[in-house]
Structure 1
Amino acid sequence: MEPFDFKEFWQGLSLEEKKQLAKEAGTTVNYIRTHLVYARRVPSRNYMTELHKAVTRINPNISKEQLLSFFYAAA
């Protein structure tokens, strides 16, 4: 499994893509920037599922396991 860096992924998005991802994940750009980019919080199971769906709309090659590993490697 190839490592996935959510921070790098997020920083590579345009402002419109960030807004769309946040909306699809059921949160705000500010919440993602504050808590998720630096893995300060690990999303709940339901939120992780929604976040993964939103991420894969932008990059369908990101597996849920890769997304999980970003948050749990930092925890």
Structure 2
Amino acid sequence: SKVGQFLFRYLFQASLYAIWTEWNGRKFGEAHTSAAGLIKTIDKQIGNRISSLKTRKDSIYQKAIVTWFSFR
């Protein structure tokens, strides 16, 4: 479905960014983040991004918000 593809792309992008940020932080001596911390960060990033999108009634974004928060 379009909603599933939309959420998958966001999840993939947020995961790559979180992993890159963690790797970069370790490279420059910052504190390590646990796997649970990374998952929490990714979940929060996706929820914030989806909820910040301008929505019209019955749009893909509205369905994505409902779908994302139903899996929490």
Normalising by the smaller structure, the TM-score range is: 0.3 to 0.5
TM-score, normalised on structure 1?
Answer: 0.32
TM-score (norm 2): 0.33
Higher helix share: 2
If you compute each CA radius of gyration, which structure gives the higher value, 1 or 2? 2
